[in-house]
Amino acid sequence: MTSHFNNMATKPYLTNNSESEISGNSMKLVTLQGHERKVTKTKFNHDGDLLFSAAADNIVCVWDTSTGERLGTYDGHQGTINDFDIDHNSKYLLTGSGGSYLTIWNIENGKSLYKYKTYAPVSSVQYSCGNQTFIASSREFIKEPSSIHIYKNPTYPTTEQTEGKEEKDNDEQEKPWKMISIDNDIKQLNFGVTKAVWSPLNDYIYALCTDNTIRIVDVEKGLQIKK
């Protein structure tokens, strides 16, 4: 996979009469223009100084929230980026794509550090509290059930573990620590998990499904315990 960090800034578009009073503070309305297809997700980092955006054009952009300038792109996926997450210290970016790949990036230099091949398009990803693990969810695909995969985070606990490492080949990546199937008990067509999120203490995972249900998964048992 070819990856690079694009340092060519894209200037923001400031609207006329962009000054508005909200709660006594003067704010600027800035339109960010950088994606060529529909945006699938936006998210601020923990400190709020960076904004990340993903789209169906297969890239993630990172923006300076104080100026609106695009600082770079994370380029290399071969499918729509359906979800991404940022670790607490804003050092690593986790992305999941419709091309059935997970990738961990170095946020500062844009380098792809780890790539995981999944059996199905990835619908959502999220780091656990503390960043020791991360999850990736998927819908039913061919004969495979909808599932949640739990991975041990290779960048935890120190950056020294990944400093200078090259991206590994697909067959060298670790397999998921746990794989938890989500039951399609009403036999819905194209059933699946659209979003999976950790509980605050990482002991449960809440899975939002296409049948308008929320499934509760016990991480230690590796089982769905409630619908």
At 179, is the secondary structure helix, strand, or coil? Answer: strand
User: pLDDT of 92-126, one tens digit each?
Assistant: 999 999 999 999 999 999 999 999 999 999 999 99
Contact yes or no for 133/196 (Cβ under 8 A):
no
| % of the chain surpassing 90 pLDDT | 67
Which of these ranges, 2-11, 75-84, 196-205, has the smallest mean pLDDT? 2-11
d(CA 113, CA 3): 10
**Strand 81-86 to 70-75 pairing:** unpaired
Tokens of 200: 């605050």
How far is C-alpha 125 from the geometric centre of its chain's CA atoms?
5
Contact yes or no for 47/55 (Cβ under 8 A):
no
Instruction: Say what the pLDDT of residue 94 is.
Output: 97
Segment 162-180 mean pLDDT = 64
d(CA 180, CA 12): 43
Which of these ranges, 73-77, 213-217, 220-224, has the smallest mean pLDDT? 73-77
Segment 183-197 mean pLDDT = 95
2 pLDDT more than 80: no
Closest CA to 54 of 69, 42, 68: 42
Contact yes or no for 180/147 (Cβ under 8 A):
yes
Main-chain phi, psi angles of 161, to 5 degrees: -65, -25
| % of the chain surpassing 70 pLDDT | 81
**pTM for this model (two decimals):** 0.83
Instruction: Say what the pLDDT of residue 12 is.
Output: 56
53 pLDDT more than 80: yes
150 pLDDT more than 90: yes
End-to-end CA distance of the chain: 39
* pLDDT range class, residue 162, cuts 50, 70, 90: very low
DSSP 84-144: EEE-TTS-EEEEEETTSEEEEEETTT--EEEEEE-SS-EEEEEEPTTSSEEEEEEB-BTTB
25 pLDDT more than 80: no
Segment 122-142 mean pLDDT = 96
Instruction: Say what the pLDDT of residue 205 is.
Output: 98
224 pLDDT more than 80: yes
* pLDDT range class, residue 164, cuts 50, 70, 90: very low
180 pLDDT more than 50: yes
Tokens of 61: 């952009």
